[in-house]
């Protein structure tokens, strides 16, 4: 099967030029071309049934579900219902092109792990980008496979800022790193959290970003130094330089003394104040970042290939 280096090219605003220059890899999404299949059923806001009997999980997007809250079914949870309706209008009964981010193409349930593209009104549309830009999902990274996270975040950002879709619902609002009781109540859920990093320390091969004085009780983010060495030159140094910086992070809340997020990839750290951001870092500056349009741009040819490992998302 031919290798398709997919560069998901997003339109840069005039204020986004510096960010694009600073983060050379922004929007790069290296994919391998896969088969075309017809969509016979939309299972949920991130999963599709195909005409050959297989199912596909759309990589890099977490669609809203009733299980995100105390709601019991999609029928009574509007964000999930709206996401399914939007995805159905986009792909149901149509052919989609699949593209893979690495060699591990199935999760433990046998579902394909892929990006999807569909022709809509004569334009090639990236399905994940469209859903994020309409506010019907949250971008996230899988361990060792975040090649598309910059592009996903760029599509999510305008919807989040405009409170479109799920972002208008308080259940999905950005959380404060200092509201530790609230974060503990939200453990085992995926959350977007913002705050100022107080200290960065390394312990047993993990860089720990502490957001308060008491690491036993306050919010902490961890990322393994081994991941950083593989992800970018100078990545670990960039994380160490985040003390006193305002950042946004995302991931699954767990309890390790206080509330804790273990990052899958350094790109899940967004720097919100731009002073002296290191150019070598995969950590993405966001206040002047390029923004995407309403749909994902079609891929173009490149000789580069994606990473070779995949970790599926935790179950909710």
Q: Which of 111, 136, 167 is the last residue of a domain?
A: 167
Pair 121, 135 in one domain: yes
**CA distances in angstroms from 20 to 9, 127, 202, listed in the order given:** 11, 23, 30
Flag whether 307 is in a domain. no
**161 and 79 in one domain?**
yes
Q: Which residues pair with 21 in a beta bridge?
A: none
Is residue 130 domain-shared with residue 243, that is, in the same domain? Answer: no
Q: Is 290 among the domain residues?
A: no
Where residue 236 sits, what CATH number does that domain have? Answer: 2.40.50.140
Structural domain total, the chain: 2
Q: Residue 258 is part of which domain span?
A: 173-285
Does residue 254 fall inside a structural domain? yes
Query: Of 269, 277, 274, 167, which Cα lies nearest the Cα of 228?
Result: 269
Residues shown for the chain:
316
Q: Which DSSP category does 297 fall into? A: P
Please compute, for residue 84, the number of CA atoms within 13 A of its CA located in the half-sphere on the CB side: 14
Last residue of a domain, one of 148, 167, 186: 167
195 and 129 fall within a common domain: no
* CB-based contact 147:28 (threshold 8 Å): yes
Residue 296 near residue 27, CB atoms below 8 Å: no
> Residues 185, 256: one domain?
yes
Cβ(19)–Cβ(289) below 8 Å: yes
Token pair for residue 311?
């970790």
Task: Give this prediction's pTM.
Answer: 0.77
Q: Calculate the CA 146 to chain-centre distance.
A: 8
Domain boundary among 167, 184, 211: 167
Q: What is the pLDDT along the chain (316 residues), one digit of tens a residue?
A: 333 333 333 333 222 223 322 333 334 577 899 999 999 999 999 999 999 999 999 999 999 998 888 766 666 789 999 999 999 999 999 999 999 987 778 888 899 999 999 998 888 999 999 999 999 999 988 766 666 888 999 999 999 999 999 999 999 999 999 999 999 999 999 999 999 999 999 898 899 999 998 877 899 999 887 766 555 545 677 888 899 999 999 999 999 989 999 998 888 889 998 644 333 334 544 433 333 333 344 343 233 333 333 333 333 3
* CATH number, domain containing residue 67: 2.40.50.90
Q: Do 23 and 158 belong to one domain?
A: yes
User: Of 204, 168, 185, nearest to 253 (Cα)?
Assistant: 185
């Amino acid at each position: 099967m031919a290798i398709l280096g997919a560069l998901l090219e997003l339109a840069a605003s005039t204020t986004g030029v510096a960010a694009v220059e600073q983060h050379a890899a922004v929007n790069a999404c290296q994919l391998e071309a896969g088969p075309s299949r017809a969509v016979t059923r939309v299972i949920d806001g991130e999963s599709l049934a195909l005409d050959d009997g297989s199912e596909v999980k759309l990589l890099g997007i977490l669609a809203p579900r009733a299980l995100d809250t105390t709601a019991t079914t999609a029928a009574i949870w509007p964000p999930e219902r709206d996401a399914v309706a939007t995805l159905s209008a986009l792909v149901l009964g149509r052919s989609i092109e699949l593209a893979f981010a690495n060699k591990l193409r199935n999760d433990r349930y046998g579902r394909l792990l892929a990006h999807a593209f569909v022709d809509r009104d004569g334009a090639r549309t990236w399905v994940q980008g469209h859903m994020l830009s309409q506010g019907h999902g949250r971008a996230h990274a899988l361990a060792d496979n975040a090649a598309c996270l910059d592009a996903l975040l760029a599509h999510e950002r305008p919807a989040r800022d405009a409170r479109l879709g799920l972002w208008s619902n308080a259940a999905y609002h950005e959380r404060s790193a200092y509201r530790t009781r609230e974060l503990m109540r939200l453990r085992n859920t995926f959350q977007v959290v913002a705050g100022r990093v107080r200290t960065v320390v390394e312990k047993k091969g993990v860089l720990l970003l502490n957001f308060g004085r008491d690491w036993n009780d306050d919010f902490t983010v961890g990322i393994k130094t081994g991941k950083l060495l593989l992800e970018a030159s100078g990545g670990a140094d960039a994380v160490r330089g985040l003390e006193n910086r305002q950042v946004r992070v995302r991931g699954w809340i767990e309890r390790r003394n206080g509330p804790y997020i273990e990052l899958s990839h350094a790109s899940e750290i967004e720097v919100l104040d731009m002073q002296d951001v290191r150019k070598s870092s995969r950590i993405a500056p966001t206040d002047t970042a390029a923004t995407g349009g309403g749909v994902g741009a079609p891929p173009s040819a490149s000789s580069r290939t994606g990473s070779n490992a995949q970790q599926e998302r935790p179950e909710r």
